[in-house]
Chains A and B, each alone.
Chain A
Amino acid sequence: MSISDSGVDFSLNRVAAMVRRYWYLLRSSWPRILDLIYWPAVQMLMWGFLQLYVSQNVGFFAQAGGLFIGSVLLWDILFRGQLGFSISFLEEMWSRNLGNIMISPLRPVEFIAALMIMSIVRLAIGMVPVSLLAIAFFDFNLWSLGLALAAFFANLMLTSWAIGIFVAGLLLRNGMGAEGMAWTIMFLFLPLTCVYYPVSILPDFLQYVAWSLPPTYVFEGMRALLIDHVFRADLMLESLALNVLLFAVASLAFLKLLQSARVQGSLLQTGE
Protein backbone atom coordinates (compact mmCIF):
# COMPACT_ATOMS: atom_id res chain seq x y z
CA MET A 1 0.00 0.00 0.00
CA SER A 2 1.41 3.35 -0.91
CA ILE A 3 1.48 6.25 1.51
CA SER A 4 -1.23 7.88 -0.57
CA ASP A 5 -3.51 4.85 -0.31
CA SER A 6 -3.36 4.89 3.48
CA GLY A 7 -4.62 8.44 3.63
CA VAL A 8 -1.40 9.71 5.24
CA ASP A 9 -0.81 11.98 2.24
CA PHE A 10 -1.24 15.64 3.19
CA SER A 11 -2.29 18.53 0.99
CA LEU A 12 -2.02 22.12 2.21
CA ASN A 13 -4.33 23.07 -0.66
CA ARG A 14 -7.17 20.95 0.74
CA VAL A 15 -6.56 22.29 4.25
CA ALA A 16 -6.73 25.82 2.80
CA ALA A 17 -10.02 24.94 1.07
CA MET A 18 -11.56 23.89 4.37
CA VAL A 19 -10.22 26.92 6.25
CA ARG A 20 -11.64 29.16 3.52
CA ARG A 21 -15.00 27.44 3.88
CA TYR A 22 -15.11 27.96 7.64
CA TRP A 23 -14.00 31.55 7.22
CA TYR A 24 -16.86 32.17 4.77
CA LEU A 25 -19.26 30.62 7.30
CA LEU A 26 -17.93 32.68 10.16
CA ARG A 27 -17.98 36.02 8.42
CA SER A 28 -21.45 35.41 6.99
CA SER A 29 -23.04 35.69 10.44
CA TRP A 30 -22.31 38.72 12.64
CA PRO A 31 -24.10 37.19 15.67
CA ARG A 32 -21.63 34.33 15.58
CA ILE A 33 -18.71 36.73 15.53
CA LEU A 34 -20.26 38.72 18.37
CA ASP A 35 -20.76 35.51 20.31
CA LEU A 36 -17.02 34.85 20.12
CA ILE A 37 -16.34 38.07 22.01
CA TYR A 38 -19.45 38.30 24.18
CA TRP A 39 -18.92 35.54 26.75
CA PRO A 40 -15.19 36.01 27.26
CA ALA A 41 -15.85 39.72 27.78
CA VAL A 42 -18.67 39.09 30.27
CA GLN A 43 -16.56 36.54 32.18
CA MET A 44 -13.51 38.74 32.28
CA LEU A 45 -15.50 41.75 33.49
CA MET A 46 -17.30 39.79 36.19
CA TRP A 47 -14.15 38.20 37.61
CA GLY A 48 -12.24 41.41 37.16
CA PHE A 49 -14.67 43.42 39.24
CA LEU A 50 -14.77 40.64 41.83
CA GLN A 51 -11.02 40.74 42.06
CA LEU A 52 -11.09 44.51 42.37
CA TYR A 53 -13.49 44.24 45.30
CA VAL A 54 -11.49 41.49 47.02
CA SER A 55 -8.15 43.22 46.49
CA GLN A 56 -9.41 46.33 48.22
CA ASN A 57 -10.18 44.25 51.29
CA VAL A 58 -7.52 41.55 51.43
CA GLY A 59 -3.82 42.33 51.21
CA PHE A 60 -2.79 39.05 49.58
CA PHE A 61 -4.88 39.59 46.51
CA ALA A 62 -3.65 43.13 46.24
CA GLN A 63 -0.14 41.70 45.80
CA ALA A 64 -1.31 39.04 43.36
CA GLY A 65 -2.85 41.50 40.94
CA GLY A 66 -4.59 39.98 37.94
CA LEU A 67 -4.85 36.49 39.38
CA PHE A 68 -8.55 36.07 38.68
CA ILE A 69 -8.45 37.89 35.36
CA GLY A 70 -5.45 35.82 34.29
CA SER A 71 -7.28 32.65 35.29
CA VAL A 72 -10.37 33.69 33.35
CA LEU A 73 -8.41 34.56 30.24
CA LEU A 74 -6.38 31.34 30.28
CA TRP A 75 -9.49 29.27 31.02
CA ASP A 76 -11.15 30.91 28.03
CA ILE A 77 -8.23 29.97 25.81
CA LEU A 78 -8.71 26.34 26.87
CA PHE A 79 -12.51 26.36 26.66
CA ARG A 80 -12.89 28.52 23.53
CA GLY A 81 -10.09 26.67 21.78
CA GLN A 82 -11.99 23.40 22.09
CA LEU A 83 -15.33 25.02 21.35
CA GLY A 84 -13.93 26.72 18.23
CA PHE A 85 -12.67 23.36 17.00
CA SER A 86 -15.92 21.54 17.80
CA ILE A 87 -18.25 24.21 16.41
CA SER A 88 -16.46 24.23 13.06
CA PHE A 89 -16.93 20.46 12.98
CA LEU A 90 -20.57 20.76 14.03
CA GLU A 91 -21.15 23.22 11.16
CA GLU A 92 -20.69 20.26 8.80
CA MET A 93 -23.32 18.25 10.64
CA TRP A 94 -25.77 21.12 11.04
CA SER A 95 -25.62 21.81 7.31
CA ARG A 96 -25.82 18.06 6.43
CA ASN A 97 -22.58 18.51 4.49
CA LEU A 98 -20.54 15.77 6.17
CA GLY A 99 -21.35 13.26 3.41
CA ASN A 100 -19.95 15.62 0.78
CA ILE A 101 -16.81 16.15 2.85
CA MET A 102 -16.27 12.48 3.64
CA ILE A 103 -16.44 11.40 -0.02
CA SER A 104 -14.11 14.16 -1.14
CA PRO A 105 -10.34 13.57 -1.34
CA LEU A 106 -9.94 15.39 2.00
CA ARG A 107 -7.93 13.21 4.40
CA PRO A 108 -8.87 13.02 8.09
CA VAL A 109 -5.55 14.60 9.04
CA GLU A 110 -6.25 17.55 6.72
CA PHE A 111 -9.73 17.92 8.13
CA ILE A 112 -8.28 18.02 11.65
CA ALA A 113 -5.60 20.53 10.59
CA ALA A 114 -8.28 22.84 9.14
CA LEU A 115 -10.29 22.61 12.35
CA MET A 116 -7.19 23.42 14.42
CA ILE A 117 -6.46 26.49 12.31
CA MET A 118 -10.07 27.65 12.63
CA SER A 119 -10.04 27.22 16.40
CA ILE A 120 -7.10 29.67 16.52
CA VAL A 121 -8.91 32.10 14.19
CA ARG A 122 -12.09 31.99 16.28
CA LEU A 123 -10.12 32.30 19.49
CA ALA A 124 -8.20 35.30 18.19
CA ILE A 125 -11.43 37.06 17.21
CA GLY A 126 -12.71 36.60 20.76
CA MET A 127 -9.63 36.92 22.91
CA VAL A 128 -7.70 39.79 21.36
CA PRO A 129 -10.45 42.39 22.00
CA VAL A 130 -11.10 40.93 25.46
CA SER A 131 -7.43 41.09 26.41
CA LEU A 132 -7.45 44.76 25.37
CA LEU A 133 -10.55 45.33 27.50
CA ALA A 134 -8.69 43.81 30.47
CA ILE A 135 -5.96 46.43 30.01
CA ALA A 136 -8.53 49.22 29.75
CA PHE A 137 -10.65 48.20 32.73
CA PHE A 138 -8.22 46.55 35.16
CA ASP A 139 -4.76 47.48 33.96
CA PHE A 140 -4.04 43.77 33.46
CA ASN A 141 -1.87 43.21 30.41
CA LEU A 142 -1.95 39.55 29.38
CA TRP A 143 0.51 40.28 26.60
CA SER A 144 3.11 41.46 29.10
CA LEU A 145 3.53 37.82 30.17
CA GLY A 146 5.55 37.44 26.97
CA LEU A 147 7.29 34.07 26.62
CA ALA A 148 5.29 32.65 29.51
CA LEU A 149 2.07 33.50 27.69
CA ALA A 150 3.35 31.68 24.61
CA ALA A 151 4.06 28.58 26.72
CA PHE A 152 0.67 28.79 28.46
CA PHE A 153 -1.10 29.30 25.13
CA ALA A 154 0.68 26.43 23.36
CA ASN A 155 -0.12 23.96 26.12
CA LEU A 156 -3.74 25.04 26.50
CA MET A 157 -4.32 24.88 22.75
CA LEU A 158 -2.82 21.38 22.56
CA THR A 159 -5.24 20.23 25.26
CA SER A 160 -8.21 21.95 23.60
CA TRP A 161 -7.37 20.34 20.26
CA ALA A 162 -6.97 16.89 21.81
CA ILE A 163 -10.39 17.16 23.45
CA GLY A 164 -11.86 18.62 20.22
CA ILE A 165 -10.49 15.70 18.20
CA PHE A 166 -11.98 13.20 20.64
CA VAL A 167 -15.38 14.95 20.55
CA ALA A 168 -15.29 15.00 16.72
CA GLY A 169 -14.79 11.23 16.81
CA LEU A 170 -17.76 10.84 19.15
CA LEU A 171 -19.90 12.98 16.83
CA LEU A 172 -18.91 10.88 13.81
CA ARG A 173 -19.70 7.70 15.64
CA ASN A 174 -22.84 8.77 17.51
CA GLY A 175 -24.26 11.59 15.39
CA MET A 176 -25.91 14.67 16.85
CA GLY A 177 -26.78 12.69 19.97
CA ALA A 178 -23.23 13.50 21.11
CA GLU A 179 -23.58 17.24 20.44
CA GLY A 180 -24.00 18.01 24.15
CA MET A 181 -20.48 16.66 24.75
CA ALA A 182 -19.06 19.35 22.51
CA TRP A 183 -20.53 22.07 24.72
CA THR A 184 -19.97 20.54 28.15
CA ILE A 185 -16.95 18.22 28.15
CA MET A 186 -14.47 20.95 28.98
CA PHE A 187 -16.38 21.95 32.12
CA LEU A 188 -15.16 18.72 33.68
CA PHE A 189 -11.70 20.30 33.50
CA LEU A 190 -12.83 23.45 35.33
CA PRO A 191 -12.75 22.07 38.89
CA LEU A 192 -10.11 19.41 38.25
CA THR A 193 -7.46 21.57 36.59
CA CYS A 194 -7.64 24.10 39.43
CA VAL A 195 -8.27 27.17 37.32
CA TYR A 196 -9.10 29.51 40.22
CA TYR A 197 -7.33 27.85 43.18
CA PRO A 198 -4.10 25.96 43.85
CA VAL A 199 -3.94 22.16 43.55
CA SER A 200 -3.19 21.93 47.29
CA ILE A 201 -6.83 22.88 48.01
CA LEU A 202 -8.03 19.58 46.56
CA PRO A 203 -8.33 16.38 48.61
CA ASP A 204 -5.29 14.13 48.21
CA PHE A 205 -6.83 11.64 45.78
CA LEU A 206 -8.08 14.43 43.51
CA GLN A 207 -4.64 16.00 43.47
CA TYR A 208 -3.41 12.89 41.61
CA VAL A 209 -6.19 13.40 39.07
CA ALA A 210 -5.39 17.11 38.75
CA TRP A 211 -1.69 16.46 38.11
CA SER A 212 -2.60 13.99 35.35
CA LEU A 213 -4.24 16.80 33.38
CA PRO A 214 -1.99 19.09 31.30
CA PRO A 215 -3.85 22.39 31.98
CA THR A 216 -3.28 22.04 35.76
CA TYR A 217 0.42 22.76 35.18
CA VAL A 218 -0.45 25.87 33.19
CA PHE A 219 -2.72 27.33 35.89
CA GLU A 220 -0.18 26.50 38.59
CA GLY A 221 2.47 28.09 36.38
CA MET A 222 0.36 31.21 36.01
CA ARG A 223 -0.05 31.50 39.77
CA ALA A 224 3.70 31.05 40.26
CA LEU A 225 4.29 33.84 37.76
CA LEU A 226 1.74 36.30 39.15
CA ILE A 227 2.23 35.62 42.87
CA ASP A 228 5.92 34.63 43.13
CA HIS A 229 7.08 36.28 39.87
CA VAL A 230 8.75 33.02 38.82
CA PHE A 231 8.35 31.36 35.42
CA ARG A 232 8.20 27.59 36.06
CA ALA A 233 9.61 26.07 32.86
CA ASP A 234 9.51 22.66 34.54
CA LEU A 235 5.72 22.87 34.81
CA MET A 236 5.43 23.83 31.15
CA LEU A 237 7.57 20.89 30.05
CA GLU A 238 5.54 18.48 32.18
CA SER A 239 2.36 19.91 30.68
CA LEU A 240 3.81 19.51 27.19
CA ALA A 241 4.74 15.87 27.82
CA LEU A 242 1.22 15.09 29.06
CA ASN A 243 -0.25 17.00 26.11
CA VAL A 244 1.73 14.96 23.61
CA LEU A 245 0.36 11.82 25.24
CA LEU A 246 -3.20 13.19 25.38
CA PHE A 247 -3.04 14.33 21.73
CA ALA A 248 -1.80 10.92 20.60
CA VAL A 249 -4.53 9.10 22.56
CA ALA A 250 -7.23 11.47 21.24
CA SER A 251 -6.01 11.05 17.63
CA LEU A 252 -6.02 7.28 18.00
CA ALA A 253 -9.51 7.40 19.53
CA PHE A 254 -10.68 9.60 16.62
CA LEU A 255 -9.38 7.13 14.04
CA LYS A 256 -10.97 4.21 15.89
CA LEU A 257 -14.30 6.04 16.17
CA LEU A 258 -14.14 6.98 12.47
CA GLN A 259 -13.44 3.35 11.61
CA SER A 260 -16.35 2.28 13.82
CA ALA A 261 -18.60 4.91 12.18
CA ARG A 262 -17.80 3.41 8.77
CA VAL A 263 -18.62 -0.07 10.05
CA GLN A 264 -21.85 1.05 11.72
CA GLY A 265 -22.92 3.25 8.81
CA SER A 266 -23.08 6.32 11.07
CA LEU A 267 -21.58 8.62 8.44
CA LEU A 268 -24.79 8.25 6.44
CA GLN A 269 -26.98 9.17 9.38
CA THR A 270 -25.58 12.11 11.20
CA GLY A 271 -28.85 13.06 12.85
CA GLU A 272 -29.81 12.06 16.36
Chain B
Amino acid sequence: MNGAVISAIAVDALVKRYKGATAVDGISFRLAPGSITGLLGGNGAGKTTTIAMIMGLVTPTSGTITVLGAQMPRERYRVLHRMNFESPYVDMPMRLTVRQNLSVFAQLYAVPDIDDRIASLATDLDLVEFLDRPNGKLSAGQKTRVSLAKALINRPEVLLLDEPTASLDPDTADWVRSRLERYRIEHGAAVLLASHNMTEVERLCERVIIMKKGRIEDDDTPERLLDRYGRQTLEEVFLDVARGTGQQREAAQ
Protein backbone atom coordinates (compact mmCIF):
# COMPACT_ATOMS: atom_id res chain seq x y z
CA MET B 1 0.00 0.00 0.00
CA ASN B 2 1.21 3.50 -0.80
CA GLY B 3 2.47 5.26 2.34
CA ALA B 4 1.19 8.62 1.10
CA VAL B 5 -2.37 7.29 1.15
CA ILE B 6 -2.30 6.17 4.77
CA SER B 7 -0.30 9.11 6.09
CA ALA B 8 -2.08 12.29 7.11
CA ILE B 9 1.13 14.14 6.28
CA ALA B 10 4.07 12.71 4.33
CA VAL B 11 7.21 14.82 3.90
CA ASP B 12 10.04 13.48 1.75
CA ALA B 13 13.49 15.00 1.26
CA LEU B 14 12.09 18.46 1.79
CA VAL B 15 14.44 21.38 1.13
CA LYS B 16 13.83 25.11 1.33
CA ARG B 17 16.56 27.52 0.37
CA TYR B 18 16.27 31.28 0.50
CA LYS B 19 18.94 33.58 -0.90
CA GLY B 20 22.13 32.52 0.81
CA ALA B 21 20.42 30.46 3.52
CA THR B 22 19.01 26.97 3.85
CA ALA B 23 15.94 27.03 6.09
CA VAL B 24 15.02 23.36 5.71
CA ASP B 25 17.60 20.84 4.62
CA GLY B 26 16.32 17.52 3.34
CA ILE B 27 13.87 16.44 6.04
CA SER B 28 11.52 13.47 5.81
CA PHE B 29 8.77 12.29 8.15
CA ARG B 30 5.28 10.84 8.11
CA LEU B 31 2.36 11.48 10.44
CA ALA B 32 -0.38 8.92 10.87
CA PRO B 33 -4.01 9.99 11.15
CA GLY B 34 -4.93 10.59 14.78
CA SER B 35 -1.33 11.10 15.86
CA ILE B 36 0.10 14.10 17.66
CA THR B 37 3.69 15.05 16.95
CA GLY B 38 5.82 17.80 18.40
CA LEU B 39 8.22 19.74 16.22
CA LEU B 40 10.92 21.01 18.54
CA GLY B 41 13.73 23.35 17.72
CA GLY B 42 15.33 26.65 18.56
CA ASN B 43 14.85 29.89 16.68
CA GLY B 44 15.73 29.45 13.02
CA ALA B 45 15.58 25.66 13.22
CA GLY B 46 13.09 25.57 10.33
CA LYS B 47 9.89 24.65 12.21
CA THR B 48 7.72 27.48 10.93
CA THR B 49 9.02 27.12 7.37
CA THR B 50 8.22 23.41 7.49
CA ILE B 51 4.66 24.08 8.68
CA ALA B 52 4.24 26.83 6.07
CA MET B 53 5.32 24.44 3.32
CA ILE B 54 2.87 21.80 4.56
CA MET B 55 0.08 24.41 4.37
CA GLY B 56 1.15 25.49 0.87
CA LEU B 57 2.12 29.01 1.98
CA VAL B 58 5.74 28.48 0.96
CA THR B 59 6.88 26.61 -2.14
CA PRO B 60 9.62 24.03 -1.42
CA THR B 61 12.91 24.25 -3.30
CA SER B 62 12.81 20.46 -3.68
CA GLY B 63 11.22 17.41 -2.11
CA THR B 64 7.58 16.45 -1.80
CA ILE B 65 4.76 17.00 0.67
CA THR B 66 1.54 15.02 0.66
CA VAL B 67 -1.37 15.98 2.90
CA LEU B 68 -4.34 13.59 3.03
CA GLY B 69 -3.21 12.22 -0.32
CA ALA B 70 -2.88 15.60 -2.07
CA GLN B 71 0.47 16.91 -3.33
CA MET B 72 1.25 20.27 -1.79
CA PRO B 73 1.24 23.00 -2.92
CA ARG B 74 0.04 21.90 -6.38
CA GLU B 75 -3.17 20.23 -5.20
CA ARG B 76 -3.75 22.36 -2.11
CA TYR B 77 -7.34 23.24 -2.99
CA ARG B 78 -8.24 19.55 -2.75
CA VAL B 79 -7.42 19.47 0.95
CA LEU B 80 -7.31 22.99 2.42
CA HIS B 81 -10.92 22.61 3.60
CA ARG B 82 -9.82 19.54 5.61
CA MET B 83 -6.89 21.29 7.31
CA ASN B 84 -6.50 24.25 9.61
CA PHE B 85 -3.86 26.23 11.43
CA GLU B 86 -3.41 28.21 14.60
CA SER B 87 -0.61 30.55 15.58
CA PRO B 88 -0.37 33.55 17.90
CA TYR B 89 1.50 35.29 15.09
CA VAL B 90 -1.55 35.29 12.85
CA ASP B 91 -4.46 37.38 14.06
CA MET B 92 -8.03 38.18 13.20
CA PRO B 93 -9.61 41.59 12.56
CA MET B 94 -9.88 43.48 15.84
CA ARG B 95 -13.08 45.36 15.03
CA LEU B 96 -15.08 42.28 14.14
CA THR B 97 -16.85 40.47 16.93
CA VAL B 98 -15.88 36.90 17.72
CA ARG B 99 -19.12 35.69 16.16
CA GLN B 100 -18.56 37.68 12.96
CA ASN B 101 -14.99 36.42 12.61
CA LEU B 102 -15.99 32.82 13.17
CA SER B 103 -18.99 32.99 10.87
CA VAL B 104 -16.87 34.38 8.00
CA PHE B 105 -14.35 31.55 8.36
CA ALA B 106 -17.16 29.03 8.68
CA GLN B 107 -18.56 30.26 5.37
CA LEU B 108 -15.10 30.15 3.75
CA TYR B 109 -14.75 26.53 4.84
CA ALA B 110 -18.33 25.73 3.75
CA VAL B 111 -19.26 24.57 7.27
CA PRO B 112 -22.88 23.40 7.43
CA ASP B 113 -25.15 24.81 10.18
CA ILE B 114 -22.81 27.69 10.96
CA ASP B 115 -24.77 29.00 13.96
CA ASP B 116 -24.84 25.56 15.59
CA ARG B 117 -21.13 25.05 14.98
CA ILE B 118 -20.22 28.42 16.50
CA ALA B 119 -22.47 27.77 19.50
CA SER B 120 -20.89 24.36 20.02
CA LEU B 121 -17.34 25.74 19.79
CA ALA B 122 -18.22 28.65 22.06
CA THR B 123 -19.44 26.21 24.69
CA ASP B 124 -16.42 23.91 24.33
CA LEU B 125 -13.91 26.75 24.44
CA ASP B 126 -15.70 28.85 27.03
CA LEU B 127 -16.39 31.70 24.61
CA VAL B 128 -20.14 32.12 25.02
CA GLU B 129 -19.94 35.42 26.90
CA PHE B 130 -17.43 36.88 24.41
CA LEU B 131 -19.22 35.97 21.17
CA ASP B 132 -20.52 39.47 20.56
CA ARG B 133 -17.43 41.29 21.78
CA PRO B 134 -14.91 42.72 19.27
CA ASN B 135 -11.76 40.64 18.96
CA GLY B 136 -9.65 43.66 19.89
CA LYS B 137 -11.29 43.88 23.31
CA LEU B 138 -10.24 40.38 24.35
CA SER B 139 -7.33 39.37 26.57
CA ALA B 140 -4.43 37.31 25.14
CA GLY B 141 -5.91 34.12 26.58
CA GLN B 142 -9.36 34.85 25.16
CA LYS B 143 -7.85 35.66 21.74
CA THR B 144 -6.00 32.36 21.76
CA ARG B 145 -9.27 30.56 22.43
CA VAL B 146 -10.89 32.42 19.54
CA SER B 147 -7.96 31.46 17.27
CA LEU B 148 -8.40 27.89 18.40
CA ALA B 149 -12.13 28.07 17.63
CA LYS B 150 -11.23 29.34 14.14
CA ALA B 151 -8.72 26.48 13.74
CA LEU B 152 -11.38 23.92 14.71
CA ILE B 153 -14.32 25.51 12.87
CA ASN B 154 -14.13 23.05 9.95
CA ARG B 155 -13.39 19.99 12.13
CA PRO B 156 -9.96 19.59 10.48
CA GLU B 157 -8.42 16.19 9.93
CA VAL B 158 -4.99 17.81 9.92
CA LEU B 159 -4.29 20.52 12.48
CA LEU B 160 -1.08 22.53 12.36
CA LEU B 161 -0.17 24.53 15.44
CA ASP B 162 2.68 26.99 15.65
CA GLU B 163 3.45 27.71 19.32
CA PRO B 164 -0.24 27.68 20.26
CA THR B 165 0.31 28.64 23.89
CA ALA B 166 3.03 31.28 23.46
CA SER B 167 2.45 34.31 25.73
CA LEU B 168 -0.25 32.55 27.75
CA ASP B 169 -0.17 32.17 31.52
CA PRO B 170 0.41 28.57 32.71
CA ASP B 171 -3.21 28.01 33.70
CA THR B 172 -4.64 29.18 30.37
CA ALA B 173 -1.93 27.30 28.47
CA ASP B 174 -2.83 24.12 30.33
CA TRP B 175 -6.51 24.68 29.57
CA VAL B 176 -5.75 25.11 25.84
CA ARG B 177 -3.66 21.92 25.81
CA SER B 178 -6.48 19.92 27.37
CA ARG B 179 -8.90 21.15 24.70
CA LEU B 180 -6.45 20.25 21.92
CA GLU B 181 -5.96 16.82 23.36
CA ARG B 182 -9.71 16.27 23.60
CA TYR B 183 -10.27 17.42 20.01
CA ARG B 184 -7.62 15.03 18.69
CA ILE B 185 -9.08 12.07 20.57
CA GLU B 186 -12.68 12.83 19.62
CA HIS B 187 -12.02 13.54 15.93
CA GLY B 188 -8.98 11.41 15.17
CA ALA B 189 -7.13 14.40 13.77
CA ALA B 190 -3.43 14.38 13.00
CA VAL B 191 -1.79 17.23 14.90
CA LEU B 192 1.63 18.73 14.23
CA LEU B 193 2.69 21.08 16.98
CA ALA B 194 5.69 23.38 16.66
CA SER B 195 6.76 24.63 20.04
CA HIS B 196 9.52 25.91 22.28
CA ASN B 197 7.61 24.73 25.29
CA MET B 198 9.05 21.39 26.43
CA THR B 199 6.38 20.82 29.06
CA GLU B 200 3.74 21.21 26.41
CA VAL B 201 5.41 18.78 24.04
CA GLU B 202 6.07 16.31 26.83
CA ARG B 203 2.46 16.39 27.92
CA LEU B 204 0.75 16.33 24.53
CA CYS B 205 2.98 14.55 22.06
CA GLU B 206 3.43 10.86 21.48
CA ARG B 207 6.32 11.61 19.15
CA VAL B 208 8.91 14.37 18.99
CA ILE B 209 10.88 15.58 15.98
CA ILE B 210 13.83 17.73 16.99
CA MET B 211 15.10 20.14 14.35
CA LYS B 212 18.34 22.06 14.25
CA LYS B 213 19.60 24.25 11.42
CA GLY B 214 16.96 22.91 9.06
CA ARG B 215 17.73 19.24 9.69
CA ILE B 216 16.03 16.59 11.79
CA GLU B 217 18.43 15.83 14.62
CA ASP B 218 16.25 13.24 16.29
CA ASP B 219 12.81 11.69 15.95
CA ASP B 220 11.30 9.41 18.55
CA THR B 221 8.81 9.07 21.41
CA PRO B 222 9.47 11.32 24.41
CA GLU B 223 10.18 8.25 26.57
CA ARG B 224 12.75 6.80 24.21
CA LEU B 225 14.42 10.19 23.76
CA LEU B 226 14.75 10.61 27.53
CA ASP B 227 16.09 7.08 27.82
CA ARG B 228 18.55 7.42 24.96
CA TYR B 229 19.96 10.75 26.11
CA GLY B 230 19.91 9.65 29.76
CA ARG B 231 17.94 12.71 30.77
CA GLN B 232 14.98 13.43 33.06
CA THR B 233 13.23 16.05 30.93
CA LEU B 234 12.80 16.91 27.27
CA GLU B 235 14.31 20.30 28.02
CA GLU B 236 17.58 18.62 28.90
CA VAL B 237 17.37 16.55 25.72
CA PHE B 238 16.67 19.69 23.72
CA LEU B 239 19.69 21.44 25.24
CA ASP B 240 21.87 18.43 24.49
CA VAL B 241 20.77 18.54 20.87
CA ALA B 242 21.08 22.32 20.63
CA ARG B 243 24.61 22.28 22.05
CA GLY B 244 25.65 19.19 20.17
CA THR B 245 26.38 17.31 23.38
CA GLY B 246 23.77 14.63 22.80
CA GLN B 247 25.79 12.68 20.26
CA GLN B 248 28.84 12.87 22.51
CA ARG B 249 26.81 11.47 25.43
CA GLU B 250 25.38 8.72 23.24
CA ALA B 251 28.84 7.84 21.93
CA ALA B 252 30.27 7.80 25.45
CA GLN B 253 27.49 5.51 26.65
| Assembled-state Cα–Cα distance A1/B85 (Å) | 26
Q: Which of B65-81 contact A (CB under 8 A)?
A: 70, 73-78, 80-81
| Assembled-state Cα–Cα distance A261/B59 (Å) | 9
Known: A17-B108, A105-B81. 17 other contacts (CB 8 A): A1-B75, A5-B74, A5-B77, A14-B108, A14-B110, A17-B105, A21-B93, A25-B95, A99-B90, A100-B92, A103-B56, A103-B80, A104-B105, A264-B18, A265-B23, A267-B57, A268-B49
Q: Which of A2-26 contact B (CB under 8 A)?
A: 4-7, 9, 11, 13-14, 16-18, 20-21, 24-25
| Assembled-state Cα–Cα distance A18/B84 (Å) | 18
Contacts of B100 in A (CB 8 A): 21, 24
Contacts of A7 in B (CB 8 A): 76-77
Chain A to chain B: the 8 pairs with minimum beta-carbon distance, closest first? A17-B107, A99-B90, A96-B91, A28-B95, A95-B93, A21-B104, A262-B59, A105-B81
Contacts of A100 in B (CB 8 A): 85, 90, 92, 105, 150
Partner of B77, one of A24, A28, A102, A105: A105
Task: Please determine whether B109 and A97 come into contact, CB atoms closer than 8 angstroms.
Answer: no
- B176 shortest CB reach to chain A, Å: 18
Nearest CB to that of A104 among chain B residues? B108
Partner of B104, one of A17, A96, A265: A17
Q: Which of A143-190 contact B (CB under 8 A)?
A: none
Interface residue tally on B, bucketed by range: 35 or more
Q: Which of A233-269 contact B (CB under 8 A)?
A: 259, 262-265, 267-268
Task: Please determine whether A103 and B18 come into contact, CB atoms closer than 8 angstroms.
Answer: no
Nearest CB to that of B73 among chain A residues? A262
**Is B39 positioned at the interface, with any CB of A under 8 Å from its CB?**
no
| Assembled-state Cα–Cα distance A7/B81 (Å) | 13
**Is B94 positioned at the interface, with any CB of A under 8 Å from its CB?**
yes
Task: Please determine whether B80 and A97 come into contact, CB atoms closer than 8 angstroms.
Answer: no
| Assembled-state Cα–Cα distance A103/B96 (Å) | 20
Contacts of B91 in A (CB 8 A): 95-97
Known: A16-B107, A103-B80, A107-B77. A263 touches B96 (CB 8 A): no
**Is A124 positioned at the interface, with any CB of B under 8 Å from its CB?**
no
Contacts of A265 in B (CB 8 A): 16, 18, 23, 49, 52, 57-58
Interface residue count on the A side (C-beta < 8 Å): 38
Nearest CB to that of A260 among chain B residues? B59
Contacts of A9 in B (CB 8 A): 77
**Is B37 positioned at the interface, with any CB of A under 8 Å from its CB?**
no
Contacts of A267 in B (CB 8 A): 52, 57-58
Contacts of A28 in B (CB 8 A): 95-96, 134
Partner of A105, one of B23, B52, B73, B80: B80
**Is B83 positioned at the interface, with any CB of A under 8 Å from its CB?**
yes
A–B Cβ pairs within 8 angstroms, 26 of them: A5-B74, A5-B78, A14-B110, A16-B107, A17-B107, A20-B103, A21-B96, A21-B104, A24-B95, A24-B104, A95-B92, A95-B93, A95-B94, A96-B89, A96-B90, A97-B93, A98-B90, A100-B92, A100-B150, A102-B57, A105-B110, A262-B59, A263-B59, A265-B18, A265-B52, A267-B58
Task: Please determine whether B95 and A268 come into contact, CB atoms closer than 8 angstroms.
Answer: no
Nearest CB to that of B84 among chain A residues? A103
- B230 shortest CB reach to chain A, Å: 37
Most-contacted residue by chain A among B52, B93, B100 (CB, 10 A):
B93
Contacts of A139 in B (CB 8 A): none
| Assembled-state Cα–Cα distance A17/B100 (Å) | 10
Nearest CB to that of B23 among chain A residues? A265
Q: Which of A78-123 contact B (CB under 8 A)?
A: 91, 95-100, 102-107
Task: Please determine whether B80 and A13 come into contact, CB atoms closer than 8 angstroms.
Answer: no
- B166 shortest CB reach to chain A, Å: 14
Nearest CB to that of A92 among chain B residues? B93
**Is A56 positioned at the interface, with any CB of B under 8 Å from its CB?**
no
**Is B172 positioned at the interface, with any CB of A under 8 Å from its CB?**
no
**Is B48 positioned at the interface, with any CB of A under 8 Å from its CB?**
yes
Most-contacted residue by chain A among B75, B103, B105, B108 (CB, 10 A):
B108
**Is A29 positioned at the interface, with any CB of B under 8 Å from its CB?**
yes
